[in-house]
Amino acid sequence: EKGGHDYFMLKEIAEQPRAVADTLLGRIDGSGSLRLDEVRIPPHELREVDKVVIVACGTAFHSGMIAKYAIEHWTRIPCETELASEFRYRDPILDQRTLVVAISQSGETMDTLMALRHAREQGAKVLAICNTNGSTIPRESDAVLYTHAGPEVAVASTKAFLTQLVACYLVALYLGQIRGTKWGDEIRTVIRQLSEISGAVEQVLGTMEPVRELARSLAGHDTVLFLGRHVGYPVALEGALKLKELAYMHAEGFAAGELKHGPIALIEDGLPVVVVVPSPRGRSLLHDKVVSNIQEIRARGARTVVIAEEGDEAVVPYADHLIRIPITPTLLQPLVSTVPLQVFACELATARGNDVDQPRNLAKSVTVE
């Protein structure tokens, strides 16, 4: 049942190209436009949305953080992403023109469910992004966009995360498409690039042996830090979360721009720091800033593990370990940059003798608050 893999997690990591392709299947028509009729919120209502609020927990929250960048860029609708457990105990401002997006693999997470109930009570429309047919969260939502990852058995979320990202991009691009923004041409181009992205995920999976080797060599460390910027920031948080839950190591993700506001004090000789580097194309200013960050931490003794696009030569002098990822549009990069972090955490946990499918103290679906 593990398809020849030692762990479900390894099987599920390997299934990601297919999961991504399946989540796109039937949602892009012959002319390259999105067809999301299954989202039964009529286009005229979606056109009136003036605020998007995303609620989720854990890994699903990280996909929601990335969605914020995509939604605000392609639709120009203000979007906030909030931990479901925080959202429901504040007094959030919502009305009929607010679209609440609840993201959940299991569809049973109590915090997310309570957040969406609270949102509907205030009159907001709720769209669920969910991997489990007929589960509670989609049943209680106004609409649902299913991710087609297939059953996820390992406690640590991998393929569900990538498909949540795909679903979030679909929602962002669809909202952009029906509302018509100045990014119309870019939206059409990105839809085409998204339709081809599963090949890039496959490509990364084929180059993971050095990542596994590196992970094994770090098994004796206590701490690993992760840095990222823009959509690489939630990826850094996700890399740190995977390492905490699987390897039981102290792992923290930071926004690279925050380094000088505190975290840089943590850097000491030999400390492994994983850095997710933005594409040098597009937002090249951000790329250069992150490269300076790598330079700064290395000068203070960090052992740098750099995840950078193919052809990005600027990082080479400062990378103790260099992990290459395929060239993708800036906003889609998390679909490829997350994969090495999953493999890294899984291998490190195994090297430390942990059960990666059943990490201590964790349950696959958290149905209590």
Residues that bind ligand F6R (CB under 6 A): 57-60, 104-106, 109, 112, 156-157, 241, 245, 365-366
Give the nearer residue to ligand F6R in terms of CB position, either 241 or 286. Answer: 241
Q: Which residue is nearest to ligand F6R (CB)?
A: 58
Give the nearer residue to ligand F6R in terms of CB position, either 10 or 60. Answer: 60
233 - beta bridge partners? none
Q: How far is the CB of 78 from ligand F6R (least distance, A)?
A: 24
98 - beta bridge partners? 51
Q: Which string of DSSP letters, residue by residue, matches 54-112?
A: EEE-HHHHHHHHHHHHHHHHHH---EEEEEHHHHTTS-----TTEEEEEEESSS--HHH
Q: How far is the CB of 339 from ligand F6R (least distance, A)?
A: 14
Q: How far is the CB of 55 from ligand F6R (least distance, A)?
A: 10
Which region holds residue 33: left if phi is over 0, alpha if psi is between -120 and 50, else beta?
A: beta
- Among 319, 314, 287, 316, smallest CA distance to 303 is for 319
Give the nearer residue to ligand F6R in terms of CB position, either 112 or 350. Answer: 112
Cα-based distances in Å from 73 to 62, 103, 127, 176, 277: 17, 20, 20, 9, 20
Rounded Cα distance between 206 and 362, Å, is 30
Q: How far is the CB of 153 from ligand F6R (least distance, A)?
A: 11
Rounded Cα distance between 201 and 295, Å, is 28
Rounded Cα distance between 39 and 34, Å, is 12
Q: How far is the CB of 99 from ligand F6R (least distance, A)?
A: 19
Give the nearer residue to ligand F6R in terms of CB position, either 77 or 168. Answer: 168
Rounded Cα distance between 341 and 240, Å, is 8
* Catalytic residue (choose from 2, 51, 289, 364): 364
Q: How far is the CB of 238 from ligand F6R (least distance, A)?
A: 8
> 253 phi and psi, to 5 degrees?
-105, 140
Active site residue 364: yes
Give the nearer residue to ligand F6R in terms of CB position, either 164 or 330. Answer: 164
Give the nearer residue to ligand F6R in terms of CB position, either 243 or 315. Answer: 243
> 345 phi and psi, to 5 degrees?
-65, -40
Q: Residue 229: CB partners within 8 Å, gap ≥ 6?
A: 255, 256, 257, 276, 278, 286, 289, 290
- Give the active site residues: 364
